[in-house]
Amino acid sequence: MKNPGSPRERLKLFARATAAATLVAGALIGVTATAGTAGAATSEPCDIYASGGTPCVAAHSTTRALYATYNGPLYQVRRGSDNTTRDIGLLSAGGYADAAAQDSFCAGTSCVITIIYDQSGRNNNLTQAPGGGAAGGPDNLANATAAPTTVGGHKAYGVYIPPGTGYRNNHTNGIATGDNPEGMYAIFDGSHYNGGCCFDYGNAETDSNDDGNGTMEAIYFGNIKVWGYGAGNGPWIMADLENGLFSGVNQHYNANDPTINYRYTTAIIKGGPNHWAIRGGNAQSGSLSTFYDGARPNVSGYNPMRKQGAIILGTGGDNSKGAQGTFYEGVMTSGYPSDATENAVQDNITAAGYSNSSGGGGTTGALHAVGAGKCLDVPNASTTAGTQLQIWDCSGGANQTWTRTSANELTVYSGGAQLCLDAYNKQTSPGTKVETWPCNGGANQQWQVNANGTVTGVQSGLCLDVTGASTANGALAELWTCNGQSNQQWSLN
């Protein structure tokens, strides 16, 4: 399935939950928390699924352990300078990713994610997707530093997937086939999506081809409307069942499948004989909602299902790879999980503490242009390096949310990618444009937010300035000699 589309980025920030994990019926697999700053809970998502009688058969995360006893690698990175690889593990058993190990290994060069390890013990690892019926390959690998996050107060990295990038395993162990029941959840960045086909995580064909209706069962996230769709403008959680994205029983509209774009979004699909469901919620707080729960689609070929048991991330079953998204964690189960089990998993997720705050004492908020009464804005939430910044009516969007880091950077999370406020080409003359650029620690990306309301470049000593003292939407930002005028006054809050 292919459908080109234009990316849209929207963001809602919700408070971090503090609830502890709920226990489902039966004894959970209890393990004493590991002492130290990265101590684990007594049960993690796959422990909860196991206690509910639907154990994980695949468990992928680049941010944390999904079992309380897991102490193996989460993922592997390869650096560009010498093509060597390193496994990135945990700070402690059942804990959080050792992001510092990645930062040290990748310092001064680029890194890509080569393997996302399966924590279930079944070796259902995800690696570079091969070519398929819809598009050639192998697919691109994800930039290992493009989706920074924090979880439990610890720095970690998600899997940032632009179009053309994908992971797959066509030779799996224990993944549901035929009409057998299964469940799956994933945590996505709800602000990073598009209308292309198809940003999926889940069950797909083992030959990377479109093998007909009912040969897939995967979570889809995005706002394509070629097949089924939900309420509003999207994005929606839907099921990719091959030759159709389904929001409900038919191949068209389901008013009960809402636009859902939390910064961290929990997405769930589960299916069994003539029965399937869509559920979702905010991965930072609150409970799950059910958007569909009923019979298989009323289109020929989906009852019974003909699932094949491969696993995909970031593409469609036939390697359609025009979509984009960001993945943090997800699992697949044997058996159809109960709502109670999934509710307990959601409690665990919200308690894990996903956040896009930088840590290190940083301040996050809109950077208000005091003279214009507007906000410093990344035009159209662009992810393109070198995009000149502008002022625009304040919207609360991610492309207007800036973080002052302990390294004196001003970072923005635009379109799912973290970028830095940057003085073009390290220039120090008045009129130098101010742009977004991947963070690199350079002096032209270091800024002083001063008590007098100015923001000055550490390298240039010049002030962040709205060109021509304009107050209009779209007025460009630049560096200029500090002059005390209102178009050089800023407030980060």
Task: Please calculate the CA angle 486-490-493 and round it to the nearest 5 degrees.
Answer: 145
* Residue 346 DSSP SS3: helix
Contact call for residues 462 and 434 (beta carbons, < 8 A): no
Order of strands across the sheet with 148-151? Answer: 154-157, 148-151, 354-355
Contact call for residues 241 and 276 (beta carbons, < 8 A): no
Tell me which residue of 195, 351, 190, 159 sits closest to 265, measured CA to CA.
190
pLDDT of residue 406: 67
In tens, the pLDDT along 262-272 reads 989 999 999 99
Contact call for residues 490 and 404 (beta carbons, < 8 A): no
* Residue 87 DSSP SS3: strand
Q: 342 catalytic, yes or no?
A: no
**Same fold: 45-355 with 363-492:** no
Give me Rg for the CA atoms of the chain.
23
Cα separation, 325 vs 364, whole angstroms: 23
Choose, from 118, 318, 377, 435, the residue flagged as catalytic: 318
Contact call for residues 407 and 446 (beta carbons, < 8 A): yes
Token code pair at residue 373: 């009464």
pLDDT of residue 357: 57
Cα separation, 346 vs 17, whole angstroms: 11
pLDDT of residue 371: 86
Note the pTM of the prediction, 2 decimals.
0.71
* DSSP 8-state secondary structure symbol assigned to residue 169: E
Choose, from 242, 347, 377, 478, the residue flagged as catalytic: 242
Q: 242 catalytic, yes or no?
A: yes
* DSSP 8-state secondary structure symbol assigned to residue 23: P
The CATH architecture that domain 45-355 belongs to is Sandwich (2.60)
Cα separation, 26 vs 349, whole angstroms: 20
Cα separation, 446 vs 449, whole angstroms: 10
Contact call for residues 329 and 66 (beta carbons, < 8 A): yes
Q: Which element (helix H / strand E) includes 105?
A: helix 99-106
* DSSP 8-state secondary structure symbol assigned to residue 143: B
Number of H helices, E strands in the chain: 3, 32
Domain 363-492, CATH class in plain words:
mainly beta
Q: Where are the domains of the chain?
A: 45-355, 363-492
Q: Average pLDDT of each block of 10 consecutive residues along the chain (493 residues)?
A: 37 32 35 33 90 98 98 97 97 96 92 97 98 92 90 92 96 98 96 93 98 98 94 96 96 93 95 98 96 96 98 98 96 98 98 72 76 91 92 86 82 80 95 93 87 86 94 96 91 79
